Amino acid sequence: MNMGSEVKKSTLKRVDMAEGKNCVVKNRTYNLTTEEEKYYILLKKYARILAPFYDTVFGFLSLGRGSRLRDKVVDFTSARNGSRILDVCTGTGKQAFAFAKKGYDVTGIDLSEDMLKLAKKKNKYKNVKLEIADATNLPFEDNSFDVSCVSFALHDMIPTIRERALKEMIRVTKPKGTIMIIDLALPKNKISRFLVYNIFKLYEPYYTEFIKSDLETLLKKSGIEIEEKLPVLFGAGRIIKGVNIDGE
C-alpha cells in the first residue's frame, strides 16, 4: 500500500509529503496539489489504523484465498531463476514473502512505517529487504529489477499518484522486464458485480474512481504492454502481466 508522509528524494534529501508543498522526482520539482496533500495525510492515518488488522481484513475479503492468491501471482509471473523482484507498496510483506520462498531476491517498499514494522516482524527470509520509500519516487537506479509488482495498491491511489507510481515502476524495471499488476475488478455476474461494488465503495475512498477508470489504457499509455490477464477472487480481482516496452 502506498501510504505515509515521507518521500526520499533522488538527492537523498527527505521531505514530509503530508506537510510539504513540493517534491523532487528524478531531479524534477513539482508542486503537490491540494488533493495530493490530502491524499498523503489520509493514507498515513489509514495505514496507522489498519496495519494491525490488515492481514485479517484481506483474508476476509479474499474469502480465505489470500495465501493461494499470492502464490498464484508468483506462478503467473514465471520469473527466471535469479531474478531481482521489486514489490511496490508491500504493506505487511505477504506478496514479497511469496516471491522469496521461491528463492528470488526480493525488495519490498512501502511508505507506512506501521505496515513495514509488521512486515519485518514476520519476515523469515534472508533474501528479502524491506525499505521505507514512496512509490512515486523509488530510491533505485534505472533498470534495477527484472520484475516489478504492485498488489492491491493502485486502487488506493488518486489518479496523479497512480500514474507517477507506474512510471517509477517502469523506470526501475529492465527493458523487456515484467510488470505485475494485481488489483480489484468487477465480476461479470450482475448480482456479484452489484454486491462487490457496493461493499468496496463503503470503505475504500478512491475505489469508485479506480473501478470506473480504464486501467489497461493507463498501463499501455505508461509504457506497459499487456501480455496476459487472469481473473481471480471470482472476478472481484485481476492479475495483469505486462512487459516494460518504455525503455526499448
Give the predicted TM-score (pTM) of the model: 0.86
Query: Which residue range forms the structural domain that includes residue 214?
Result: 52-244
Question: Any bridge partners for residue 183, and if so which?
Answer: 238
Copy the grid coordinates of residue 34: 491540494
Report CA-CA distances (Å) from 216 to 13, 142, 210, 221, 238.
34, 24, 12, 9, 11
C-alpha closest to that of 109 among 100, 96, 98: 96
Per-residue model confidence (pLDDT) at position 6? 37
Per-residue model confidence (pLDDT) at position 192? 95
Residue 117 placed within a domain = yes
Residue 153 placed within a domain = yes
Residue 47 placed within a domain = no
Residue 42 placed within a domain = no
Copy the grid coordinates of residue 60: 476476509
Amino acid at 71: D
The whole-angstrom separation of Cα 227 and Cα 219 is 12
Residue 171 placed within a domain = yes
Residue 26 placed within a domain = no
The whole-angstrom separation of Cα 233 and Cα 178 is 23
Per-residue model confidence (pLDDT) at position 30? 61
Per-residue model confidence (pLDDT) at position 29? 55
| pLDDT tens digits in sequence order for the chain, 248 residues long | 444 333 433 333 333 444 444 554 444 456 788 999 999 998 888 889 888 888 787 776 776 667 899 999 999 999 999 999 999 999 999 999 999 999 999 999 999 999 999 999 999 999 999 999 999 999 999 999 999 999 999 999 999 999 999 999 999 999 999 999 999 999 999 999 999 999 999 988 899 999 999 999 999 999 999 999 999 999 999 999 999 998 66
Residue 1 placed within a domain = no
Residue 137 placed within a domain = yes
DSSP 3-state assignment of 4?
A: coil
Domain total in the chain: 1
CATH number at residue 239: 3.40.50.150
